[in-house]
Amino acid sequence: MYSSPPTPSDTQAAYFRSPGCLCRFIIPVLAVLLTSSLLVIGLSKIEIVQAESPALAAALPVESRTSLSSVFTPEVQYWGEEIINWAEIYQLDPNLVATVMQIESCGFIMAESGAGAKGLFQVMPYHFQEGENPFQPNSNAKRGLQYLRQAKEAGGNSRSALAGYNGGIYGASLPEEEWTAETTRYVYWGIRIYKDARNGLDHSARLDEWLAYGGDSLCQKASESQR
């Protein structure tokens, strides 16, 4: 709070009581300096509050998004920008998303399994809402990656996420010795490919093994569809 300004008579009385005193010159200067300091401190506090505000923080420039590892085949790299966007939307590591796409379809948009799973992430038909096209990339990614995120949250780690994606969230919660052979094999491929990608390697021996096991034919179909 500012005090009321002195009257002219008060100022004169104070001046004559202290002949030669510089108080009437020094005090205003000190008051200005003190006011300026308080304003600077106040503005600094405002800036701190603004920086900590969630609403304002959302408007600040975001950090650069994670890039996709080079371990994945060219057919999966073809979807690189989409993978990064989907990973951001569904709050997943892009390299985990790419690992699932690698194993499920190798980027082949029209992939379809004998069990009826469809599209880039091999999503079963009952996950889609009426009118959704299972082979439309964004629709397929939405249903597949929502489930992958649920599997990761349920299990708490990437290994459980991969197991849950293949064998169901309940199946992944069972002891590993009770997993199906398919889920065990899926995690065998996926977890090593994913770790190689996360560790910054430019080549994955496990991915080579997956290609030799039969994945190469799937990638050939993807390559032909992307030309």
Chain segment 85-117, per-residue pLDDT in tens:
999 999 999 999 999 999 999 999 999 999 999
* Spatial contact of 208 and 192, defined as CB atoms under 8 Å apart: no
| Token output for 107 | 């980027």
Question: Where do we find the tokens 């064998």?
Answer: 167
Number of residues written out for the chain:
227
Of the two residues 30 and 49, the one the predictor is more confident about is 30
Average pLDDT over the chain reads 80
What is residue 36's predicted lDDT score, i.e. its pLDDT? 47
| Token output for 106 | 């190798």
Q: What does the longest C-alpha to C-alpha distance in the chain come to?
A: 105
What is residue 219's predicted lDDT score, i.e. its pLDDT? 98
What is residue 3's predicted lDDT score, i.e. its pLDDT? 31
The highest-level CATH class for domain 74-226 is mainly alpha
| Average pLDDT rounded to a whole number, residues 119-140 | 97
Q: Bridge-partner residues for 118, per DSSP?
A: 112, 123
Of the two residues 98 and 63, the one the predictor is more confident about is 98
Residue ranges of domains in the chain: 8-57, 74-226
* Spatial contact of 102 and 211, defined as CB atoms under 8 Å apart: no
Tally of CB atoms within 10 A around 92:
20
The percentage of the chain sitting over the pLDDT mark of 90, rounded to a whole number, equals 70
Q: How confident is the model at residue 67 (pLDDT cuts 50, 70, 90)?
A: confident
pTM of the shown model: 0.72
